[in-house]
Chains A and B, each alone.
Chain A
């Protein structure tokens, strides 16, 4: 390898280092920076997650919430990402839908005597198939709730939820500034930060009088 290239590799390594370090640092971000509930009945949930985000990025976290439990989601993020992080909750479910699948084949053309003419024609066939599709239904959007970073709810039916986190873009273009590296995925570390989602759960408290009194 040429010495010249080596220097560039070292330079790039120095650029990458903070990103790699930050990515690893993000692993425990939610345990350190997301504020837990003051309610002692809540227990930390293993579906909590932290990840490295860059400005303009949107990522999803798919979680399961069970019937008969209360959940609390709390968000925390590095300051450089801004305070108006969009947090949406969708229900995700698989639905079976009928789809018409069109296929085209070339078939030989025959004359009146049944002999091939040497020409071909395009034949279109349509077949109805049942396929599974994933559908999302929006349940909550924190931009309509003053960019709240906490959400607490009781679950009456078990659900698969998708939590969508979007970081505002510095330029508002849905893209982020970066330092290109060929196909270009290296980002400036100042454009990146950690986001954590702390999930807590507890058994839904029973209300009212229970038992067999006299």
Chain B
């Protein structure tokens, strides 16, 4: 596959739990004045968009760092039929989407197809079936043994949903899906990595303090108008309080983005790094597990 095709497939990809917010709420027009068709100067509304790195980026990294595949951390596909409430369905759509990205990153092809099926079911229930067209399903089935393609396609399916929700101004629902997708990502990492052994994965988990800031900023935009988002925002504020204890240590120099002598590329360095103790790691892991298990639980 050439580079341009990869972009076309994958950029879509990647759970950009990207969350755009460009719904610029114009009020409905009932009566329109005759003098409106004229050239005038108007203020332009500026926008802020908050992006969340995709689960595939995280899973690609932890696979490279040597973390092993941990099937027990995933939400079993048998649970899918138990989710009947729309909020629960949207949240578990995010959970299963991250699980799919995880199985694809670790080349667990048979698991990937099962999780893709679960996502399809939930997509139908929450009105997102149009994002899963026949062609996409066929592509998944035809690429079961091709790691790169499968990762790209699973990402594409998620991005189709993101795109659909953005176009239809369903930012609240997208917020639920994105939050749960990110949460499942950190749940898998925190329940697989061992403090003291998997240094790179633990550091990456600590860095999620910054990602959580972006996620909260996105959710805040919808919390006032959507009760479900407001509730989820409350859960993540509790998680933020747990992350707040992580210490930011100075590297000894201010942050810079500049070219170092002899280097080909610029280097973003200096500033602070985020430290995490074993006790803090355990506290964060517990809080993540508490929220995640509340989402995936099946009523008896």
A positions within 8 Å CB-CB of B: 5, 8-9, 11-12, 23-24, 27-28, 30-32, 36-38, 40, 43-49, 51-52, 54-70, 89, 91, 93-94, 137, 139-140, 151-160, 171, 173, 175-185, 187, 198, 201, 203
Task: Tell me whether A159 and B210 are in contact (CB under 8 A).
Answer: yes
Contact call A153/B268, Cβ cutoff below 8 A? yes
Q: Mark B1-17, 1 if CB is under 8 A from A, else 0.
A: 00110111011111111
With A and B bound together, what is the CA distance between A198 and B11 in angstroms?
Answer: 8
Partner of B53, one of A43, A47, A61, A175: A47
A184 in contact with B53 given A24-B167, A154-B268, A203-B64 (CB within 8 Å): no
Give the contacts of B16-61 with A (CB-CB under 8 A).
Answer: 16-18, 20, 22, 24, 26-27, 29, 31-34, 36-54, 56-57, 60-61
* Interfacial residues, chain B to chain A (CB-CB below 8 A): 3-4, 6-8, 10-18, 20, 22, 24, 26-27, 29, 31-34, 36-54, 56-57, 60-61, 64, 155, 159, 163, 166-167, 200, 203-204, 207, 210-211, 213-214, 217, 251, 255-257, 263, 265-274
Partner of B51, one of A56, A62, A151: A62
Q: When the two chains form their complex, are residues A66 and B51 in contact, meaning their CB atoms are under 8 A apart? A: no
Is the pair B14, A45 in contact by a Cβ cutoff of 8 Å?
yes
Q: Which residue of the partner chain, among A11, A28, A56, A65, contacts B44 with CB atoms under 8 Å?
A: A56
Contact for B266 among A57, A63, A151, CB less than 8 A: A151
Q: How far is the CA of A202 from the CA of B59 in the complex (A)?
A: 13
Q: With A60-B47, A64-B214 given, name 4 new contacts (CB 8 A).
A: A31-B11, A46-B54, A183-B27, A185-B26
When distances are taken between beta carbons in the complex, the residues of chain B under 8 Å from A54 are 44
Interface centre among A61, A93, A158 (most CB of B within 10 A): A158
Q: Which residues of B contact A68 (CB under 8 A)?
A: 61, 200
Alpha-carbon distance A47/B58, docked complex (angstroms): 13
